[in-house]
Chains A and B, each alone.
Chain A
């Protein structure tokens, strides 16, 4: 069974972007003890994060894997996860080209990815902060 490639058709209909996401999902390992809860804004959408997490970790836990668009037009996400490859660049608090893997989350941080996100539409959608 081939390993599913980011951006390949095995990932869903959006071949070059993020598949439709449920921002309420949490892919974290439940048993790990975490820092205080906080919220990030990613392209205007609120997602959950915990103190001590990198932006990379928070985005990945929300299922967001494609961050930026390379010169070739292909989407890119985290490759090395340790600050070397510069594939995971996102705009953080209006500063472009910051490494998601090397930036720790802060309260009310605003993250912008070049690859758009598509919120999965469900009739009874509840926002994380419950008002809307």
Chain B
């Protein structure tokens, strides 16, 4: 890049910010990443590692997920960390007739666009996962679903970005964003000021607060997800699992109240089972609750009774960056030149980070993006009540 290349400052050292930093730095761009605490100290370090394709709605969301999936295998080799990426296949557990009908329709839509997903009856489901409860009705299966170590992925992106001369500043709290003539010019932090031609808001659940610094309202809200970790045991789970209720809760919060919030389950590389999750609007409160943990344990044990032999060793919670339409917000903000959004992936940040980083880097450097990003544009929230920057 010439010296005329833009100075890019990314706010947020989670999986999205570090992925953008890596993809930019790989192209030789001038990148500074600013993180309030430590890398992966927010949601990227307080989540599970599911890379689910079949939980995504056909359309832009699934396209972005498929592009990410195709990049993970390359990243496993490219990044200077073992990201523990494994394409082990995933199952959606069906427990009621209503869910069966809903999943039948959901998988038909996915099959129509060529996604490799199939409906399994109880017998077929138990063949794939012998420890599942015989009381379930069946499952859907896709060999495309995968899992990854989210912390290693974030650190891998950051290390690779730094190798490519990106600057990573941690423990720097953003105090303000400098502007001049309706254009960003820099970011003020507790560790100094950084000049910027472009500022990327990749602050995850805090992206709304960062936007407010420049008077722009973005509807990103923290949504708490609690997770339960068991001791490291022998392999008992060959695939990653979610329940059909999880898909319902993801796309219709009112269903979450009615039918429960669904569960997710994976066995990490080390043998620990990660059991999730909740979807709660409680502001920036990251505490675990007895009722949340209790529900996760009850519901996972109901479909996976062998959990009785496992001990819980830890619980934690992360704040997923929720948006009203369930899609991330990616792209330039109309009200302020040089100010870009890259946040709001809710529970899909890990799975979508490879494609998000690549597409954002291309967009920021004025290159063509082969996946159309219109559906993710911040413009769709223009009438959200935000005032344009004057």
Which A residues have a C-beta under 8 Å from some C-beta of B?
A: 71, 86, 89, 95-99
Pair A97/B270 contact, Cβ less than 8 Å: no
* List of A residues within 8 angstroms of B232 by Cβ: 86, 97
The distance in angstroms between the C-alpha atoms of A95 and B309, with both chains bound, is 7
* B1 interface contact, C-beta 8 A: no
Q: Which residue of B lies closest to A102 (CB)?
A: B311
The distance in angstroms between the C-alpha atoms of A96 and B232, with both chains bound, is 11
The distance in angstroms between the C-alpha atoms of A70 and B172, with both chains bound, is 39
* List of A residues within 8 angstroms of B309 by Cβ: 95-98
Q: Which residue of B lies closest to A92 (CB)?
A: B309
Pair B233/A96 contact, Cβ less than 8 Å: yes
* List of A residues within 8 angstroms of B368 by Cβ: none
The distance in angstroms between the C-alpha atoms of A96 and B234, with both chains bound, is 7
Which B residues have a C-beta under 8 Å from some C-beta of A?
A: 231-234, 270, 309-311, 313
Pair A97/B313 contact, Cβ less than 8 Å: no
Pair B270/A86 contact, Cβ less than 8 Å: no
Q: Which residue of A lies closest to B309 (CB)?
A: A95
Interface residue from A86, A89, A95 paired with B313 (Cβ < 8 Å): A86
The distance in angstroms between the C-alpha atoms of A58 and B234, with both chains bound, is 24
The distance in angstroms between the C-alpha atoms of A71 and B272, with both chains bound, is 13
Pair B231/A86 contact, Cβ less than 8 Å: yes
* List of A residues within 8 angstroms of B233 by Cβ: 96-97
The distance in angstroms between the C-alpha atoms of A86 and B311, with both chains bound, is 10
Q: How far is the CB of A91 from chain B (nearest CB, A)?
A: 9
The distance in angstroms between the C-alpha atoms of A56 and B309, with both chains bound, is 18
The distance in angstroms between the C-alpha atoms of A95 and B236, with both chains bound, is 12
Q: How far is the CB of A127 from chain B (nearest CB, A)?
A: 31
Q: How far is the CB of A89 from chain B (nearest CB, A)?
A: 8
Q: Which residue of A lies closest to B234 (CB)?
A: A96
Pair A71/B270 contact, Cβ less than 8 Å: yes
* List of B residues within 8 angstroms of A86 by Cβ: 231-232, 311, 313
* List of B residues within 8 angstroms of A99 by Cβ: 311
* List of A residues within 8 angstroms of B311 by Cβ: 86, 99
The distance in angstroms between the C-alpha atoms of A89 and B270, with both chains bound, is 15
Q: How far is the CB of A104 from chain B (nearest CB, A)?
A: 16
Q: Which residue of B lies closest to A95 (CB)?
A: B309
* List of B residues within 8 angstroms of A97 by Cβ: 231-234, 309-310
The distance in angstroms between the C-alpha atoms of A45 and B312, with both chains bound, is 32
Q: Which residue of B lies closest to A98 (CB)?
A: B309
